[in-house]
Amino acid sequence: MELTKIHTDFPLLSRKVHGKPLVYLDNGATTQKPQIVIDAITDYYTEYNSNIHRGVHHLSQLATEKYEVARKTIQQFIGAQFSHEIIFSPGTTSSINLVASSWGRANVSADDEVLISAMEHHSNIVPWQMLCEEKGAKLKVIPMNDNGELIMEQFESLLSSKTKIVAINHISNTLGTINPVEKIIAMAHDKGSLVLVDGAQSVAHMPIDVVSLNADFYVFSGHKLFGPTGVGILYGKEAILNEMPPYQGGGDMIKSVSFEKTTYNELPHKFEAGTPNIVGGIGLGKAIEYINEIGFDFIIEQESQLKNAATKMLESIEDVKIIGQAKQKASVISFAINGFHPLDVGTILDQLGISIRTGHHCTQPIMDFYNIPGTIRASFAFYNTLEDIAKLRAGILTAKTMLS
Ligand SMILES: Cc1ncc(COP(=O)(O)O)c(C=O)c1O
The phi-psi region of residue 288 (left if phi > 0; otherwise alpha if psi is between -120 and 50; otherwise beta) is alpha
Q: Which of 86, 81, 123 has the alpha carbon at shortest distance from 281?
A: 86
Q: What is the mean pLDDT of residues 66-94?
A: 98
Considering only CA atoms, which residue is closest to atom 14 of ligand 1?
Answer: 29
> Given a cut of 70, is residue 67 above it in pLDDT?
yes
Residues 337-354 pLDDT 10s: 999 999 999 999 999 999
> Given a cut of 90, is residue 270 above it in pLDDT?
yes
Cα 104 to averaged position of ligand 1 atoms, centre (Å): 20
pLDDT at 5: 87
Q: Return all residues near 56 (Cβ < 8 A) that are at least 6 apart.
A: none
Ligand 1: which of 30, 88, 93, 217 to mutate, most ligand atoms within 8 Å of CB? 93
The domain defined by 3-30+295-403 folds into Aspartate Aminotransferase, domain 1 (3.90.1150)
Cα 291 to averaged position of ligand 1 atoms, centre (Å): 20
pLDDT at 3: 84
**Closest atom of ligand 1 to CA, residue 30:** 14
> Given a cut of 80, is residue 64 above it in pLDDT?
yes
The phi-psi region of residue 158 (left if phi > 0; otherwise alpha if psi is between -120 and 50; otherwise beta) is alpha
> Given a cut of 70, is residue 375 above it in pLDDT?
yes
Considering only CA atoms, which residue is closest to atom 9 of ligand 1?
Answer: 93
Q: How far is CA 280 from CA 90, 111, 276, 290, in A?
A: 9, 40, 9, 15
pLDDT at 66: 98
C-alpha 189/C-alpha 29 separation (Å) is: 32
Would residue 362 show up in a list of annotated catalytic residues for this protein?
Answer: yes
Cα 251 to averaged position of ligand 1 atoms, centre (Å): 28
Residues 156-190 pLDDT 10s: 999 999 999 999 999 999 999 999 999 999 999 99
DSSP state of 13: G
As a residue count, the chain comes to 404
Ligand 1 site residues (CB inside 6 A) read 91-93, 121, 123-124, 169, 173, 198, 200-201, 221
Output the average pLDDT for the chain. Answer: 97
Cα 67 to averaged position of ligand 1 atoms, centre (Å): 23
C-alpha 80/C-alpha 77 separation (Å) is: 8
- Angle subtended by helix axes 278-294 and 58-77, to nearest 10: 40
Cα 99 to averaged position of ligand 1 atoms, centre (Å): 15
C-alpha 65/C-alpha 48 separation (Å) is: 11
Q: What is the mean pLDDT of residues 94-117?
A: 98
Of the chain, the percentage scoring pLDDT greater than 90 comes to 97
Q: Which of 110, 109, 84, 356 has the alpha carbon at shortest distance from 240?
A: 84
Q: What is the mean pLDDT of residues 274-302?
A: 98
Q: How far is CA 30 from CA 27, 225, 228, 319, 381, in A?
A: 5, 8, 10, 29, 10
pLDDT at 292: 98
> Given a cut of 80, is residue 1 above it in pLDDT?
no
Q: What is the mean pLDDT of residues 248-266?
A: 92
Q: What is the mean pLDDT of residues 195-203?
A: 98
User: Are the CB atoms for 129 and 182 separated by under 8 Å?
Assistant: no
CATH of 38-292, one of 3.40.640.10, 3.40.50.10320, 3.40.190.10, 3.40.50.2000: 3.40.640.10
Q: Return all residues near 388 (Cβ < 8 A) that are at least 6 apart.
A: 23, 24, 25, 306, 380
C-alpha 333/C-alpha 78 separation (Å) is: 25
Cα 316 to averaged position of ligand 1 atoms, centre (Å): 31
C-alpha 134/C-alpha 112 separation (Å) is: 12
Q: What is the mean pLDDT of residues 42-68?
A: 95
Q: What is the mean pLDDT of residues 62-87?
A: 98
pLDDT at 302: 98
**Closest atom of ligand 1 to CA, residue 92:** 11
Residues 221-236 pLDDT 10s: 999 999 999 999 999 9
pTM given for the model: 0.98
Q: In the chain, where are the structural domains located?
A: 3-30+295-403, 38-292
User: Are the CB atoms for 333 and 322 separated by under 8 Å?
Assistant: yes
DSSP state of 44: I
Under the banding of pLDDT at 50, 70 and 90, the label for residue 265 is: very high
**Closest atom of ligand 1 to CA, residue 171:** 1
355, β-bridge pairs: 24
> Given a cut of 90, is residue 4 above it in pLDDT?
no
**Closest atom of ligand 1 to CA, residue 198:** 3
Q: Which of 59, 362, 367, 372 is catalytic?
A: 362
User: Are the CB atoms for 173 and 26 separated by under 8 Å?
Assistant: no
Ligand 1: which of 99, 123, 217 to mutate, most ligand atoms within 8 Å of CB? 123
Ligand 1: which of 96, 120, 121 to mutate, most ligand atoms within 8 Å of CB? 121
